[in-house]
Amino acid sequence: MAPSSTFAVTVAPPVLDELCINTLRFLAVDMVQKANSGHPGLPMGSAAMAYALWDRSLKFNPHDPDWPDRDRFVLSAGHGCALLYALLHVTGFDLPLEELKSFRQWGSRTPGHPEYGKTPGVEATTGPLGQGLANGVGMAIAEVALAARFNRPGHRIVDHYTYVLVSDGDLEEGISSEAGSIAGHQHLGKLIVLYADNHITIEGSTELTFTEDRMARFAAFGWHVQRVERSNDVEAVAHAQENARAESGRPSLIAVRTHIGFGSPHKQDTAAAHGEALGVEEVRLTKEGLGWPVSPSFHIPEEALEHFQKAVTRGSAAQAEWESRFKAYKQQYPDLAAEFQRVIDRRLPKDWDADLPTFAPADGPMATRVASGKTIAVLGSRLPEMMGGSADLNPSTHTNREGAGNFEPEDWAGRNMHFGIREHAMDAILNGMALHRGLIPYGGTFLIFSDYMRPPMRLAAMNALPVIYVFTHDSIGMGEDGPTHQPVEQLIGLRSIPGMVVLRPADANETVAAWRIAIGRKLGPVALVLTRQSLPVLDLNTYPGIPDGVPLGGYILADFPATERPDIILIATGSEVHLALEGRDRLLTEGVHARVVSMPSTNLFAAQSDDYRENILPTNVPLLVIEAASPVGWQSFVGPRIAVIGIDTFGSSAPGPVVMEHYGFTVENVCKQAHHVLDKPKKKAPCASESPQTMEGSF
């Protein structure tokens, strides 16, 4: 491993550079001061290193922020967003000064942390520390994956860098090690991370908590590492960035010794500069100290603005140059060029779902994870933009695509990804891939380990990113691994994320329908929740409503046409749908007419019209919900006329069918609870925690 390079330079920045850097610094200072809220310290300390990048080498066009081959810049330390907004404003993005003056205010395009889709030029929503770094790894992966697919000799139409600005907090978070390890392993040479090494976090000096050798750590991950001692030396920082770009075989970390709150006489190098306005008096002293006019605030010297705005001509020229190269490419490779445009626009090809399989009982019982694997294989043959894998569980999650090759260091044409046992980074990387565009990313693990992915899943939903999760081993029915591996509260947890669509299909045919929804959903993530255990295949001749019913979230699977109003409705999801069907048959022999509603997605069902929902679940018909998961949520969803066979404790280690039986997932208990719902004088019962159990109106 090459030793770290160090640049210890003492020169002051040339006059124009200094003017520009101070412009950024004081725009950020004034934004935070006016809002009386926010983080001035990181922008003040990191303005020079960000300027060195944005002024000297970042490839971007302020007038077309989404140009596909732009460099990506992610501010992982999202709390320092005043710096990013200042950069976007002065370089000519559509972010007027008024927006800077409305920092952190209702309706502004300058929210308290960068939000993707709200501000032109913001490449990712950041704020939860560490996420942006892993997003950057995902973007760099997308870049090499697309380059491998589309570039041709003499035609490099995909050729950009990904830059990430991180703080101490980003590198303290564990996800930075997961993502750093993957990036090093994959030799992502076009990923360049600038580290604002300011020695300060909220509670004080990093000496309190963060004393490892960060450079050695990243060098051990296989990164090229450099250190720049004088953060205000634009040339030294720019030179280090040049070195990083020259290093094509390894990702780069450039640690720049910045000073939080630079220039503030009383707050520089202290935690006091981190997360609150400097205060009127301190702003005055800081401006005076750095030779800046105290008023007016939001001052932008003309020479500085003129210099910054060269970004517009520079960016337009860079884009025009790329467009002429793309034109030549299109002439030589018209089909590939059209494909490139299609995947960047997230358009699906005609007939993409034409060959999707249908299954019949004759295929034999099949786990929905197996049906999912078969569906992925077919989808992948039509959608080369599908790219994904699992966190070391491909044989279990059935996420590997035969013949698609492995995505491997410097052999980036493969589409099967091996994330290692790194669920957190896996998902944030999937987010980065989706943000980049050009790919349909998916990732798999056991449903229980979705807990390790919660922060990036939340961000995927917030950013409306089309990321697909393949979660298998979906209930206590998975059996012997026991309570540590048996999900209980994960389903309701996922369903409660705004914008997330959760689908728990009942059989192989519902699984195909679920995948169709997942691929078709261009804005927002989808979680497919699948069984480990085999399930009967529902016969499409007997249950023809499956393909059209699944997209509605819930539908009548089995009913008695002669009966206008069923005596009771059994609502079930996933594997428990089969139990509901058996229960219905048994109840019929007991003179009770039960309707079975399969509800693969409560999220999608809740979005249907009142009429539709009333048609499926008519008012005043008692309901019995059967789902091998926490009962929380059903009550608010379907009202008071309900009992739930669910689980309000953790599972147990035993063969799956035995566990299911002990927790009340039997035909006998379904019938017993159905009679109970029908006969009961209504009163609240406590959640039973012993099996067999039912939770009746007790949420």
* Residues assigned a catalytic role: 423
Q: Which of 42, 366, 465, 512 binds ligand TPP (CB under 6 A)?
A: 42
Stretch that binds ligand TPP, among 163-171, 486-494, 527-535, 620-628 (CB under 6 A): 163-171
Q: Which is nearer to ligand TPP, 43 or 487 (CB)?
A: 43
**Given strand 386-390, what is the order of strands in its sheet?**
416-418, 386-390, 440-446, 468-472, 526-529, 501-503
How far, CA to CA in Å, does 595 sit from each of 629, 631, 633, 685?
Answer: 21, 20, 21, 24
Q: Based on CB atoms, which residue is closest to ligand TPP, 273 or 367? A: 273
Q: Which of 32, 260, 439, 580 binds ligand TPP (CB under 6 A)?
A: 260
Q: Judge whether 174 and 189 are in contact, CB under 8 Å.
A: no
Q: Which is nearer to ligand TPP, 169 or 389 (CB)?
A: 169
Q: Are 91 and 54 in contact (CB under 8 A)?
A: yes
**Cβ distance to ligand TPP smaller for residue 261 or 389:** 261
Is residue 38 within the footprint of ligand TPP (CB under 6 A)? no
**Among residues 199 and 325, whose Cβ is nearest to ligand TPP?**
199
Regarding 198 and contact with ligand TPP (CB under 6 A), the answer is yes
Q: What is the DSSP annotation of 194-252?
A: EEE--SEETTEEGGGT--S-HHHHHHHTT-EEEEES-TT-HHHHHHHHHHHHH--SS-E
**Residue 167 Cβ vs ligand TPP, minimum distance, rounded to whole Å:** 3
What is the closest distance, in whole angstroms, from the C-beta atom of residue 662 to ligand TPP in the complex? 39
- Smallest separation (angstroms) from ligand TPP to the CB of 457: 14
- Answer yes or no whether residue 193 interacts with ligand TPP by CB under 6 A: no
- How does strand 468-472 pair with strand 526-529? parallel
Q: Quick one: 28 or 623, whose CB is closer to ligand TPP?
A: 28
Site for ligand TPP in 390-419 (CB under 6 A): none
- The C-alpha angle with vertex 381 and arms to 379 and 384, in degrees rounded to 5, equals 90
Question: Of these, 108, 177, 181, 201, which contacts ligand TPP (CB under 6 A)?
Answer: 201
Q: How far is the CB of 491 from ligand TPP (least distance, A)?
A: 25
Stretch in the footprint of ligand TPP (CB under 6 A) among 37-45, 491-499, 516-524, 537-545: 37-45
Closest separation in Å from C-beta 113 to ligand TPP = 8
Instruction: Provide long-range contacts, Cβ within 8 A and 24+ apart, for 272-276.
Output: 273/40, 273/41, 273/44, 273/200, 274/39, 274/41, 274/42, 274/200, 274/201, 274/202, 275/38, 275/39, 275/41, 275/79, 275/202, 276/32, 276/37, 276/38
For strand 594-598 and strand 555-558, is the pairing parallel, antiparallel, or unpaired?
antiparallel
Nearer to ligand TPP, 208 or 562 (CB): 208
- Minimum Å distance from CB 390 to ligand TPP? 24
Binding of residue 424 to ligand TPP (CB under 6 A): no
By CB under 6 A, tell whether 111 contacts ligand TPP: no
Minimum CB separation of residue 126 from ligand TPP in Å reads 9
- Residue of minimal CB distance from ligand TPP? 169
Q: Which two tokens stand for residue 206?
A: 């990093």
Q: Find out whether 504 and 513 touch, Cβ atoms under 8 Å.
A: no
Which of 128, 380, 479, 549 is in the footprint of ligand TPP by CB under 6 A? 128
- State how far the Cα of 456 lies from the Cα of 427, in Å rounded to an integer: 6
Residue nearer to ligand TPP on the CB measure, 198 or 475: 198
Exactly one of 167, 368, 490, 694 binds ligand TPP (CB under 6 A); that residue is 167
* Alpha carbon distance 213, 220 (integer Å): 11
- Report the distance separating Cα 611 and Cα 629, nearest Å: 28
Does 127 bind ligand TPP (CB under 6 A)? Our answer is yes
Task: Please report whether residue 168 would count as binding ligand TPP according to CB under 6 A.
Answer: yes
Query: What residues are paired with 556 via a beta bridge?
Result: 597
Nearest distance, CB of residue 128 and ligand TPP, angstroms: 4
Q: 499 Cβ partners below 8 Å, 6+ apart?
A: 461, 462, 464, 524, 525
Distance between CA atoms of residues 43 and 311, nearest Å: 20
Determine, following the binding rule CB under 6 A, whether residue 274 of this chain makes contact with ligand TPP: yes
Q: Is the dihedral of CA 552, 554, 557, 563 positive or negative?
A: negative
What DSSP string describes 123-170?
A: -S---STTHHHHHHHHHHHHHHHHHHHH-BTTB--S---EEEEE-HHH
Q: How far is the CB of 180 from ligand TPP (least distance, A)?
A: 16
Please give the size of the binding site for ligand TPP, defined by CB under 6 A: 20
Helix axes 41-56, 81-90, angle to 10 degrees: 40
DSSP 618-631: -TTS-EEEE-SS--
Q: What is the CA radius of gyration of the chain?
A: 28
CB of 276 to ligand TPP, least distance (A): 12
For ligand TPP, the binding residues in 70-99 under the rule CB under 6 A are 77, 79-80
507 binds ligand TPP (CB under 6 A): no
Q: Which is nearer to ligand TPP, 205 or 652 (CB)?
A: 205
Q: Which of 13, 38, 40, 41 binds ligand TPP (CB under 6 A)?
A: 41
The answer to whether residue 200 forms part of the interface with ligand TPP (CB under 6 A) is: yes
Q: Which is nearer to ligand TPP, 169 or 180 (CB)?
A: 169
Query: How far is it, in rounded angstroms, from Cα 476 to Cα 658?
Result: 10
Q: Does 512 bind ligand TPP (CB under 6 A)?
A: no
Cα distance from N-terminal residue to C-terminal residue, the chain: 58
Q: How far is the CB of 274 from ligand TPP (least distance, A)?
A: 4
Query: In the complex with ligand TPP, which residue's Cβ is closer, 210 or 352?
Result: 210
Binding to ligand TPP by CB under 6 A, coded x per residue (else -) over 517-556, reads ----------------------------------------
Which residues in this chain contact ligand TPP in the complex, by CB under 6 A?
39, 41-42, 77, 79-80, 127-129, 167-169, 173, 196, 198, 200-202, 260, 274
